[in-house]
């Protein structure tokens, strides 16, 4: 694996995002994550997964520089659909997935975390969907999952302002389960994973299936429309300006085109 590492012990698999400096979610990293999930799903000795990021961040978002290589709105919509399908698989995965979030989970990083069944955060972590700052929109089902966790009004504020919330606020709003000091976050996630690993895998799998009955037809209609608009917005002049401004480390000048 080039962009992540994984190991298992005591029936718990640990997946570590390892793509310096910010664990950006490139298409290569997402493909590797899909491959690791294949291995873990077929391994009966593994019952729970913990995902975390190496270095300063959980994941600071999608790989913006990779966006400049995408040639068309259709290709961009396909990229969004690929991420949506992977994260939908995670949400339905028959083994519980715990995200241990430190530093920042932004954009695609937060969308990845929201696809996990449980989220532990550090108290000062930053969680947000800042895509509108770049003239883009979330494309990995973030527009559909975030309101489900924190309500439409708070989700609108987070997306429209591009401003993140803290780990403590994430717990308060219902986006995360618990917040801990950074020195404790992984150990707390492991302790929870070990507790869950003692439960019946048959019962756990059934519980995960039943939890997903809360996802309605409208959710999937929403994600399909999100992928389409993800591509259409990418083709706009505002998106080109936003991506250029991000790479050049300056404020974007959006003109509504």
Residues whose CB falls within 8 Å of the CB of residue 50, separated by 6 or more in sequence, listed in order: 12, 13, 14, 15, 97, 98, 99, 100, 186, 189, 190, 193
Q: Average pLDDT of 19-23?
A: 95
Query: Which residues are CB-contacts of 179 (< 8 A; sequence separation ≥ 6)?
Result: 120, 121, 122, 123, 125, 167, 168, 170, 171
Q: Is the pLDDT of residue 248 over 70?
A: yes
For residue 164, pLDDT over 90 is answered with yes
pLDDT tens by residue, 103-145: 999 999 999 999 999 999 999 999 999 999 999 999 999 999 9
**Catalytic entry in 2, 32, 66, 111:** 111
- How high is the pLDDT of residue 68? 76
| Catalytic hit among 39, 41, 45, 131 | 131
Mean pLDDT of 68-77: 77
Rounded-to-10 torsion of CA 147, 153, 156, 160: -160
What percent of the chain shows pLDDT beyond 70? 100
Given this model, what pLDDT does residue 94 score?
A: 97
Least confident of 4-13, 36-45, 197-206, 218-227: 218-227
Residue-level pLDDT at 71 = 66
Q: What is the pLDDT of residues 138-163, one digit of tens each?
A: 999 999 999 999 999 999 999 999 99
Q: Is 184 a catalytic residue?
A: no
Sheet containing 4-9: order of strands: 4-9, 12-17, 48-53, 97-101, 118-122, 178-180
Say whether 111 is catalytic: yes
In CATH, what number does 1-181+200-257 get?
3.90.226.10
- What letter would DSSP give residue 54? S
Cβ pair 101, 176 in contact under 8 A: yes
């Amino acid at each position: 694996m080039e962009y992540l590492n994984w190991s298992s012990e005591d029936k718990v698999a640990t997946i570590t995002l390892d793509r310096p400096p910010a664990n950006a979610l490139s298409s290569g990293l997402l493909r590797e994550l899909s491959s690791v999930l294949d291995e873990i799903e077929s391994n009966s000795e593994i019952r729970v997964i913990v995902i975390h990021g190496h270095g300063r961040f959980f994941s600071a978002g999608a790989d913006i520089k990779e966006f400049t290589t995408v040639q068309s709105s259709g290709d961009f919509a396909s990229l969004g659909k690929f991420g949506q399908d992977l994260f939908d698989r995670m949400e339905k995965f028959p083994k519980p997935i715990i995200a241990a979030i430190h530093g920042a989970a932004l954009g695609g990083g937060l969308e990845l975390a929201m696809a996990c069944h449980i989220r532990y955060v550090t108290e000062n972590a930053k969680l947000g969907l800042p895509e509108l700052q770049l003239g883009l929109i979330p494309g990995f089902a973030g527009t559909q999952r975030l309101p489900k966790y924190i309500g439409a009004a708070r989700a609108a504020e987070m997306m429209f302002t591009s401003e993140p919330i803290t780990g403590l606020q994430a717990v308060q709003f219902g986006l995360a389960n618990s917040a801990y000091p950074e020195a404790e976050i992984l150990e707390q996630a492991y302790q929870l994973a070990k507790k869950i690993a003692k439960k019946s895998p048959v019962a756990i799998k059934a519980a995960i299936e039943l939890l997903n009955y809360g996802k309605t037809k409208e959710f999937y209609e929403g994600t399909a429309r999100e992928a389409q608009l993800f591509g259409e917005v990418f083709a706009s002049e505002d998106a080109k300006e936003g991506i250029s401004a991000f790479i050049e480390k300056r404020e974007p000048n959006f003109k509504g085109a």
